[in-house]
Structure 1
């Protein structure tokens, strides 16, 4: 298995992610938003390294994300 980067516009590094997260209160919970047409909320699961990358596992669907999430992510 190789790296699947089809259609990737910008590769996010660990440093990029850390810098982005520094803007927020460290006590806040983290969620993943997926599916721009109907944003869904997923918990963050296990984080690991493999194939020369850091992988963030999906930790289970929590429901639909509020409309504000899609707006702030530029999906609407």
Structure 2
């Protein structure tokens, strides 16, 4: 189990999506990184949110489509 995190640089907090390691995660992470690179959105994968307080507070998202949608909203 791991978490895909999206954080807008210089903003407090981030959004998190609980997922599994694997090809699907790698593809999604790469897609979101390339799609938001010029908009100061950081995409990272972490194992335990409690170990990465620099991304807190977290808003946990349960749905992959909703997570993607909220990442794209960060681009604005």
Q: TM-score, normalised by structure 2?
A: 0.28
**Which has the larger share of helix?**
2
- From the CA coordinates, give the structure whose radius of gyration is larger: 1
Tell me which protein shows more strand as a share of its residues: 1
Larger RCO (alpha carbons 8 Å, 6+ apart) = 2
TM-score, structure 1 as length reference: 0.28
